[in-house]
Amino acid sequence: MAKPPLLEVKNLRVEFPTRHGTLVAIDDLSLHIDPGEVLGVVGESGAGKSLTGAAIIGLLEPPGRIAGGEILFGGRRIDKLPDAEMRRIRGRHIGAIFQDPLTSLNPLHTVGRQITDTIAAHLPLTPRQARARALELLGEVGIPAAAERIDHYPHQFSGGMRQRVVIALALCADPKLIIADEPTTALDVSIQAQIIVLLKRLCSQHGSAIMLITHDMGVIAETADRVAVMYAGRIGEVGPVSEIIHKARLPYTIGLMGSIPSIGEEVERLVQIDGSMPRLNETPPGCRYHPRCPNAFERCRTERPDLMPAGPSRVACWLYDSPAEAPAARPIPAAARATGGHRARGAAAAATLIEAKGLKQYFDVSPPLLTRILERTGRRIVRAVDGLDISIAHGETFGLVGESGCGKSTVARTVVGLFDATAGTIDYDGVSLSTREERARNRSVQQKMQMIFQDPQASLNPRWRVFDIVAESIPEARRTKAGGFKERVGELLRQVGMSPLDGDKYPHEFSGGQRQRISIARALGGEPEFLVCDEPTSALDVSVQAQILNLMVDLQRNLGLTYLFISHDLAVVHHISTKVGVMYLGRIVEWAETRRLFTRPLHPYTRMLLDAVPDISKTGTQRAQVEGEVPSPIDPPGGCHFHPRCPFANARCRGESPENIMVEGTSVACHAVQEGRLPAWKTG
């Protein structure tokens, strides 16, 4: 009765021959996708998700090769096809979309030419028909004024628009399966939402199935029908999306789900999976997860589990093996997440530690004078931060959210004094640090502020040993104290959960999470009170992110730190912050105590972000469509910067910039709120 699956992968094995022996990247992996179905593939980076996708469309980068198993598409074996035949399948029957829309398009050809090239490769159309079809496709993916845009080059499109073009390209020969590898990871939340909705709608219209590869559980929760969880080159669990999210069975899935912060609930600490995924050359025998698994037992260390049925899902775990040894007999980990209020952190009426007023940071990005004269253009000024007020109390965590380019990183750098502010004042504990002279005069105060960056790789000197990296941050005065110095470095490393022995190694010997620990240890060297963290976990996998977030919470409690925490991820900010500010084009348009902001958002932009963010608590929900993209800070719209995207904008909004006012503990800059014409926020 059952129709044959559209795609069937049986016992796939992918290997990389190297000088030090063969590495097995994918080991005995089987999966299938039905026509029209959305299969989500999740897992941490390095789990083999992209390799699986590449193997299916026959685009493994040499020396990688398929060393075993078979791939069937519509019942036909495709893994051994000669290149010329495989080419007729790629694009025509199986399409692909990659992560980064900025680099997926050929910069030297117009988008129209790239689409017609692709159509010509698969469909018997005349150039004129191909162009007509290209136009139709661009319209379908929501490119406005397609007739004009078809002759534009990729660099003339914004990131979101480019990803739409990429989707048009993937769909142009009507393939029955789309392999989408992290299609929204490089995009901002509001655009992410648009792209996911578009992809899903188009695929159901065209009857295409999707293999949606992502590390973002929120996206999966909203989009997928079934989910496969990958770990170390194997599938650990596969089942319907609601089962995976709400009734995960595999200990790894349970840990993974627990480590994802959610807007739907407040927890003190996230579930933490210690350690990290094994490298390819040191995969453990038996169950590959056993060194990290809290439920591991004897059998796990020697025998490899394969997928076996467990309820509506299938799980590769010995806990679910023999019915005699009923799951109840073994302690099956509970899927429940530790809950409980955590907003006690940061005492209610603590004194202000740092306060910035009217902060402005402009960058002059004008072309050279000669060009300006010849082209009769004026100076170009980026108003990265444009009149921002912020005040953070002792022991607080102030979360700053906003889409990329809205000026978050610039705020961070200006506050810690890496940039000289164009205008405005910065007071730290009553000491003014607004100008370079003031900072130089108050060095000891200045040192109480430290910064942690997004990319630990780039911020650690690769030629220094970890010991020297951390030691460098210890102030001169403490260094001279004989003996104590070495201990201090060891203590700092211990504080961030590393061993003093790690001091002898170099940064490249550590994983991304450990490198971020090292940069935290370095920041702690000067015994700071105030840490500015700019997207400290954005480059990390969720399980590692949970480790770092937990570490930050512990450090705050033990050392009495105050944080300015910057992220584009609302769930992370929700989890860690006591207060949250929402930034849009250089200003904080709304700030409030965390729970208040997330349950009773006032500003239309905050509401839009909350609508857009994919979250695991939103399985199968319909989202409101979000319009538009962040405009350029070079020439921001007049009046309220948000008015071109705002559903409540009126004439006043277009002409007059709103001031921040306090409404029941929320500071918000919006005319509609002031005029009382904003509808109540949906609750629930």
Partner 1 sequence: MISFILARVLQSFVVMLCVAAISFSLFTYVGDPIANLVGIQSSDEKREELRESLGLNDAVPVQFARFVSRAVRMEFGISYQQKRKVSSIIAERLPATLELSILSALLALGIGIPAGIYTALHRESWFSHLVLSGSLIGVSLPTFLIGILLIFVFSVQFHLLPSFGRGEVVQLGFWSTGLLTESGLKALIMPAITLALFQMTLIMRLVRSEMLEVLRTDYIKFARARGLSNRTVHFGYALMNTLVPVITITGLQLGSIIAFAIITETVFQWPGVGLMFIQAINEVDIPVMSTYLLLIASFFVIINLTVDLLYYFVDPRLRVGRDVKT
- Which residue, 460 or 640, is less far from ligand SF4 as judged by CB? 640
| CA–CA dist 142, 635 (Å, integer) | 25
Smallest separation, CB 408 to Mg ion (Å): 5
Among ligand SF4, partner 1, Mg ion, none, residue 476 binds (CB under 5-8 Å by kind) = none
- Which residue, 590 or 629, is less far from partner 1 as judged by CB? 629
Spatial CA neighbour of 408 closest among 422, 398, 395, 396: 398
Residue 152 binding partner 1, by CB under 8 A: yes
Residue 609 binding ligand SF4, by CB under 6 A: no
Spatial CA neighbour of 230 closest among 29, 66, 57: 29
DSSP β-bridge partners for residue 657: none
Residue 641 binding ligand ADP, by CB under 6 A: no
Smallest separation, CB 226 to partner 1 (Å): 23
Q: Please spell the DSSP secondary structure of 440-465, one letter per residue.
A: HHTHHHHTTEEEE-S-HHHHS-TTS-
Contacting residue, 90, 643, 666, 667, with ligand SF4 by CB under 6 A: 643
Residue 45 binding ligand ADP, by CB under 6 A: no
In degrees, to the nearest 5, what angle opens at C-alpha 272 toward C-alphas 343 and 223?
85
Candidates 90-98, 336-344, 420-428, 439-447 — which segment interacts with partner 1 by CB under 8 A? 90-98
Residue 365 binding partner 1, by CB under 8 A: no
Burial class of residue 35 (count of CB atoms within 10 Å of its CB; 0-12, 13-18, 19+)? middle
Smallest separation, CB 344 to partner 1 (Å): 46
| CA–CA dist 401, 388 (Å, integer) | 14
Residue 604 binding ligand SF4, by CB under 6 A: yes
Residue 57 binding partner 1, by CB under 8 A: yes
Among partner 1, ligand SF4, Mg ion, none, residue 295 binds (CB under 5-8 Å by kind) = ligand SF4
Asked if 373 contacts 419 with a C-beta cutoff of 8 angstroms, the reply is no
DSSP β-bridge partners for residue 231: 234
Q: What tokens appear for 195 in the block?
A: 């792209």
In degrees, to the nearest 5, what angle opens at C-alpha 637 toward C-alphas 633 and 638?
120
- Which residue, 191 or 390, is less far from partner 1 as judged by CB? 191
In degrees, to the nearest 5, what angle opens at C-alpha 277 toward C-alphas 273 and 281?
155
Contacting residue, 313, 658, 666, 667, with ligand SF4 by CB under 6 A: 658
- Binders of ligand SF4 in range 377-436 (CB under 6 A): none
Smallest separation, CB 454 to ligand ADP (Å): 9
Contacting residue, 409, 519, 577, 667, with ligand ADP by CB under 6 A: 409
Smallest separation, CB 523 to Mg ion (Å): 18
Q: What tokens appear for 323 in the block?
A: 């019915």
Smallest separation, CB 220 to ligand SF4 (Å): 20
Among ligand ADP, ligand SF4, Mg ion, none, residue 363 binds (CB under 5-8 Å by kind) = ligand ADP
The sign of the dihedral angle between the CA atoms of 162, 167, 170, 174 is negative
Spatial CA neighbour of 603 closest among 683, 661, 644: 661
Asked if 191 contacts 159 with a C-beta cutoff of 8 angstroms, the reply is yes
Candidates 170-178, 259-267, 306-314, 598-606 — which segment interacts with partner 1 by CB under 8 A? 170-178
Q: Whole-angstrom distance between the N-terminal and C-terminal Cα of the chain?
A: 42
**Rounded (10°) CA dihedral 667, 390, 568, 447:** -160
Asked if 671 contacts 678 with a C-beta cutoff of 8 angstroms, the reply is no
Smallest separation, CB 16 to partner 1 (Å): 16
DSSP β-bridge partners for residue 95: 178
**Contact characters 245-274, ligand SF4, x per CB under 6 A:** -----xxx----------------------
Contacting residue, 168, 293, 416, 460, with ligand SF4 by CB under 6 A: 293
Cα→Cα distances 353→224, 429, 520, 631, 668, Å: 45, 5, 21, 33, 22
Name 300's Cβ contacts closer than 8 Å, sequence gap at least 6: 286, 287, 290, 293, 318
- Which residue, 158 or 283, is less far from ligand ADP as judged by CB? 158
- Which residue, 110 or 674, is less far from ligand SF4 as judged by CB? 674
Among partner 1, Mg ion, ligand SF4, none, residue 371 binds (CB under 5-8 Å by kind) = partner 1
Cα→Cα distances 64→23, 42, 97, Å: 9, 21, 20
Residue 642 binding ligand SF4, by CB under 6 A: yes
Q: What tokens appear for 212 in the block?
A: 């949606």
Candidates 6-14, 181-189, 283-291, 511-519 — which segment interacts with ligand SF4 by CB under 6 A? 283-291
Residue 305 binding ligand SF4, by CB under 6 A: yes
Candidates 402-410, 471-479, 546-554, 664-672 — which segment interacts with ligand ADP by CB under 6 A? 402-410
- Which residue, 85 or 487, is less far from partner 1 as judged by CB? 85
Residue 375 binding partner 1, by CB under 8 A: yes
Among ligand SF4, Mg ion, partner 1, none, residue 406 binds (CB under 5-8 Å by kind) = none
Q: In what order do the strands lie in the sheet with 313-315?
A: 94-97, 177-181, 209-213, 38-42, 226-231, 234-240, 313-315, 308-310
| CA–CA dist 192, 403 (Å, integer) | 11
Residue 634 binding partner 1, by CB under 8 A: yes
Asked if 102 contacts 137 with a C-beta cutoff of 8 angstroms, the reply is no
- What single DSSP character describes residue 249? -
Smallest separation, CB 250 to ligand SF4 (Å): 6
Number of C-beta neighbours around residue 674 at 10 A? 15
Q: What are phi and psi of 591, to 5 degrees?
A: -140, 150
Smallest separation, CB 162 to ligand ADP (Å): 17
Q: Is 75 left (phi over 0), alpha (psi -120 to 50) or beta?
A: left
Residue 380 binding partner 1, by CB under 8 A: no
Smallest separation, CB 381 to ligand ADP (Å): 10
Residue 404 binding ligand ADP, by CB under 6 A: yes
Among partner 1, ligand ADP, ligand SF4, none, residue 409 binds (CB under 5-8 Å by kind) = ligand ADP
Residue 124 binding partner 1, by CB under 8 A: no
Contacting residue, 73, 98, 157, 289, with ligand SF4 by CB under 6 A: 289
Smallest separation, CB 155 to ligand ADP (Å): 15
Strand, helix or coil for residue 68: strand
Among Mg ion, ligand SF4, ligand ADP, none, residue 384 binds (CB under 5-8 Å by kind) = ligand ADP
Contact positions toward partner 1, by CB under 8 A?
57, 59, 87-92, 95-96, 98-100, 103-109, 117-118, 121-122, 144, 152-153, 155-158, 161, 166, 169-170, 172-173, 370-371, 374-375, 629, 631-632, 634-635
Contact positions toward ligand SF4, by CB under 6 A?
250-252, 287, 289-290, 293, 295-296, 300, 305, 317-319, 603-604, 640, 642-643, 646, 648-649, 653, 658, 670-672
Contact positions toward ligand ADP, by CB under 6 A?
363, 365, 382, 384, 402, 404-410, 633
